Amino acid sequence: MAENRNPPARLPIQSAPRRLLARVRDVMAAGGEAQSRLDEITRIIAADMVAEVCSVYVRRPGDVLELFATQGLKSTAVHNTRLAIGEGIIGDIAATARPFALSDAQSHPNFAYRPETGEEIFHSMMGVPVLRGGRVIGVVAVQNRTQRHYVDEEVETLQTVAMVLAELVAGGELVDGKELSVGDGSTARPLRLEGIALSPGIGMGTAVLHAPKVNIEKMVAEDPVEETNRLHRAFSEMHGAIDGLLAVEHLADGGEHMDVLETYRLIAEDAGWLKRIEEGIETGLTAEASVQRVQNDIRARMTQISDAYLRERVHDLDDLAHRLMVHLSGENGGTSVRELADDSILIARSMGPAQLLDYDYARLKGVILEGGAPTSHVAIVARALGIPVVGKAREIFQHAEDGDTVIVDADRAQAFVRPGEDALQAYVENLRVLEEQRAVYAALLDQPARSLDGVDVDLQINAGLMIDVAHLNGSGASGIGLFRTEIPFMVRAKFPGVDEQSGVYREVLDEAGDKPVVFRTLDIGGDKALPYWQTGSEENPAIGWRAIRLSLDRPALLRQQLRALIRAATGRELNVLFPMVADVPEFILARALVDKEMDREKERGGALPSSVRVGAMLEVPSLAVQLETLLDYADFLSVGSNDLGQFLFASDRGNPKLSGRYDTLSPVQLKFLKNIVDTCLKRDIHLSLCGEMAGSPLEAMALLGVGFRRLSMAGTCIGPVKAMVRSLDIAALEGFMDLHYDLPERTLREQLKAFAIDRGVAI
């Protein structure tokens, strides 16, 4: 079947970008001083693109962009003009890792005038980031005196040249690579690092550093048709290797980890991904260089997203891109298992799930990652294999060396490098506690989430991919309280059609069986940009053109999604949730579109859902003021605690300077939530809460005291939260909290902890 995956070579080949690439390649291969070569390349780009200016900025320590070469601006500005990341249009390109094309750059609100450059006579500007490993290391821009409208093909050409230029910028000749190094170089002392638990358990062993890299020896293609054929052969080989991973004996019983690998198949077979790589080849890149360019672009875009769940998907795509390049290069055929010594601990900046399976997992006692999240696919596969994983261990890669003794304590979200005697003794004690905890959670799996005073609590999961849906069976959750529908849009090269969307939603409903699923409509825009749809940059994307605002302004997009949901839910209950509703008229307009699509489906003779419930996500405080009116139109309400918290306090949750300033367990936020609960209870409206608060036992306990009885969280949080519920007297907690709502305190965290400890609540 492999040969059926090879589409025919794409023709015709575009000649202009290839000609420019060839000239740039010749300069880079000619030798000589790096600065001289960079100067010559800027001259060539300007001439070939019919631009009066071409400038190259290089990122320096302190997040500063320095003008390193220019054709057309004043030569005295070179190495003297500097812009901070985010300053001016050039700084914006670096900050967002996205291209800009402006016919009148000087009228742009972010234009930063530098008199020493002499650029005041130039109006139009096109610039693209210079990316290396998904990180912006510079910017290349062209300018013209006239108000020129740059076309997409010109932007693509400059992006391709920027990728080749990255080799020169990052080569160590223009700037010393040590400038950007992290750490003090000292690795001899014992080290304890805190992180987050991605897969439970404890392990000790010898450090093995994971640093996958395929060297691209040739960037510019001689024969694009042959490069396209090489790409298709490698795709076919990669699919065969993934088929082999599915046959791993220890994983063959099925479960969420198998869905991870099935998801790999879907992404790898996605025509949009393949098409973008083919387009890179058409511009003159080799197959390897085109794969790298596409992945650099995806990584740069997705790391700008504040949503941790979506941001983690970049590691899966990194994994696939690396795997494809391995097959292109012919290194080991991409199929051999990497041997490990007994009791090894793998240390990596990031990993995809298939990369973990490339190692002999029988000898792997733990994994430590600099990045990662509980919903990351590598964490799911690790849990299936019983391998403990600690993520967010900052700078572990700089401090650990191959052969170091390492302890992974995922139960306490910490890791020890070269541990002392005290840590080694604690490790033995932790193993004993771990065995006791495993027995407790195993006994709770089929038990109800019922409090000591007989209150039933509905624990549901958040999901966005089929691998998340699999948590329903393994965690004992009662349903999917939030399914993020934007994921299928973000991994494709174009908008998925109605049939394609409907297939995804139908599969989710089939997997969920008789358990309810709440589908949140598209939450895109702002920092969740689609690769094929430029919505423009915004100063405040979190409160900008996103979610329901974007959907109502583009009703055809929303109607297609609603149409797909209705067709997927034939004969079943359909729950539709609209995100970021700020006022009642928005919800009324959105609900009217649901009714129109129901009427449309009925008129065409299609089968309808057995019932349709339409709800609003309460994330914007203004909606709480209109709650009584809203409940005349909404069937249910879901509180999005993440956004609600930051909007309530006007505090950017992604800003480290504000981290910890406002607590989710403050009397202000808890009283705000209680007012919502009381109103919904009075009106007999179903209410739930999804977000990070729901998945933490202490925060979830507070929510139960406020009055919530339905919580939606990551699947891995169900067990700990259920244990908390079953050890709690909710009536006693409600009485305790009634005494604290009006206190002039910043947080009730310590008071709630004391309540739990005094009464033996499992937090």
- The CATH number of whichever domain residue 319 belongs to comes to 1.10.274.10
pLDDT of residue 106: 85
Shared-domain flag, residues 254 and 277: yes
Tens digit of each residue's pLDDT (9 = 90 or more) over 69-121: 999 999 999 999 999 888 899 999 988 888 889 988 888 888 888 888 888 88
Q: pLDDT above 70 covers what percent of the chain? A: 80
Tens digit of each residue's pLDDT (9 = 90 or more) over 584-596: 999 999 999 999 9
Assigned domain for 219 exists: no
Give catalytic status of residue 377 as yes or no: yes
Residue 314 pLDDT greater than 80, yes or no: no
Shared-domain flag, residues 298 and 378: no
Q: Which of 149-158, 270-279, 608-617 has the highest mean pLDDT?
A: 608-617
Shared-domain flag, residues 262 and 352: no
Q: Which one of 54, 239, 399, 690 is the catalytic residue?
A: 690
Tens digit of each residue's pLDDT (9 = 90 or more) over 413-467: 889 888 877 777 777 777 777 677 767 766 788 899 999 999 999 999 988 767 6
Residue that has been written with the tokens 């054709």 in this structure: 71
DSSP 3-state of 581: coil
pLDDT bucket at 561, cuts 50 / 70 / 90 = very high
Shared-domain flag, residues 145 and 275: no
Q: Which one of 377, 471, 680, 717 is the catalytic residue?
A: 377
Residue 533 pLDDT greater than 70, yes or no: no
Higher pLDDT, 693 or 242: 693
Q: Which of 553, 597, 558, 604 is nearest to 577 (CA)?
A: 558
Query: Contact at 8 Å (CB) between 546 and 523?
Result: yes
Assigned domain for 26 exists: no
Residue 302 pLDDT greater than 90, yes or no: no
Does the pTM surpass 0.75? The reply is no
> How many CB atoms are located within 10 Å of the residue 553 CB?
11
Side-chain-side CA neighbours of residue 387 (13 Å): 31
Residue 718 pLDDT greater than 80, yes or no: yes
Q: Verify cis geometry, omega within 30 degrees of 0, for the bond prior to 224.
A: no
Where do runs of H (alpha helix) occur along 514-640?
A: 547-553, 555-568, 584-603, 621-625, 627-630
DSSP 8-state assignment for residue 9: P
- How many Å apart are CA 620 and CA 642, to the nearest integer? 11
Which CATH number does the domain housing residue 433 bear?
A: 3.50.30.10
Shared-domain flag, residues 556 and 654: yes
- How many Å apart are CA 363 and CA 386, to the nearest integer? 12
Higher pLDDT, 438 or 366: 366
Shared-domain flag, residues 582 and 688: yes
Q: Which of 182-196, 224-238, 568-582 has the highest mean pLDDT?
A: 568-582
Shared-domain flag, residues 311 and 346: no
pLDDT of residue 494: 66
Low-confidence winner among 25-29, 416-420, 733-737 (lowest mean pLDDT)? 25-29
Write down which residue in 330, 355, 384 finishes a domain: 330
Residue 253 pLDDT greater than 80, yes or no: no
529-547 mean pLDDT: 67
- How many Å apart are CA 152 and CA 163, to the nearest integer? 17
β-partners of residue 518 are: 575
Shared-domain flag, residues 201 and 266: no
Assigned domain for 535 exists: yes
pLDDT of residue 350: 77
Range of the structural domain that residue 161 is part of: 31-177
Q: Which of 386, 397, 293 is nearest to 351 (CA)?
A: 397
pLDDT bucket at 182, cuts 50 / 70 / 90 = very low
Assigned domain for 1 exists: no
pLDDT of residue 333: 45
632-660 mean pLDDT: 84
Low-confidence winner among 239-248, 297-306, 408-417, 529-538 (lowest mean pLDDT)? 529-538
CA dihedral 335, 341, 342, 343 (to 10 degrees): -90
Q: What is the pLDDT of the chain when averaged over all its residues?
A: 82
Q: Which of 183, 193, 204, 185 is nearest to 404 (CA)?
A: 204
Shared-domain flag, residues 571 and 654: yes
pLDDT bucket at 338, cuts 50 / 70 / 90 = low
Q: What is the DSSP string of 259-276?
A: HHHHHHHHHHH-HHHHHH
pLDDT of residue 69: 95
Assigned domain for 467 exists: yes
Give catalytic status of residue 322 as yes or no: no
pLDDT of residue 249: 46
- How many Å apart are CA 483 and CA 569, to the nearest integer? 14
Query: Contact at 8 Å (CB) between 322 and 214?
Result: yes
pLDDT bucket at 567, cuts 50 / 70 / 90 = very high
First to last CA, the chain: 52
Q: Which two tokens stand for residue 500?
A: 């394609």
pLDDT of residue 393: 87
pLDDT bucket at 180, cuts 50 / 70 / 90 = very low
Which CATH number does the domain housing residue 498 bear?
A: 3.20.20.60
Q: Which of 28-42, 454-468, 682-696 has the highest mean pLDDT?
A: 682-696
Q: Which two tokens stand for residue 722?
A: 């259920």
Residue 228 pLDDT greater than 50, yes or no: yes
pLDDT of residue 334: 44
Assigned domain for 380 exists: yes
Tens digit of each residue's pLDDT (9 = 90 or more) over 14-26: 456 778 888 887 8
Assigned domain for 14 exists: no
Write down which residue in 276, 309, 330 finishes a domain: 330
Q: Which two tokens stand for residue 709?
A: 């009885």
Shared-domain flag, residues 582 and 700: yes
Assigned domain for 186 exists: no
DSSP 3-state of 170: coil
> How many degrees, rounded to 5, is the angle at CA 187 between CA 185 and CA 193?
110
Write down which residue in 442, 464, 489 finishes a domain: 442
Shared-domain flag, residues 580 and 662: yes
Residue 135 pLDDT greater than 90, yes or no: no
Q: How many domains does the chain have?
A: 4
Q: pLDDT above 90 covers what percent of the chain? A: 37
Q: Which of 434-448, 482-496, 732-746 has the highest mean pLDDT?
A: 732-746
Residue 357 pLDDT greater than 80, yes or no: no
- How many Å apart are CA 248 and CA 151, to the nearest integer? 48
Low-confidence winner among 57-66, 174-183, 219-228, 753-762 (lowest mean pLDDT)? 174-183
Which CATH number does the domain housing residue 158 bear?
A: 3.30.450.40
Shared-domain flag, residues 368 and 511: no
pLDDT bucket at 720, cuts 50 / 70 / 90 = confident
Alpha carbon of residue 720 to chain centroid = 25
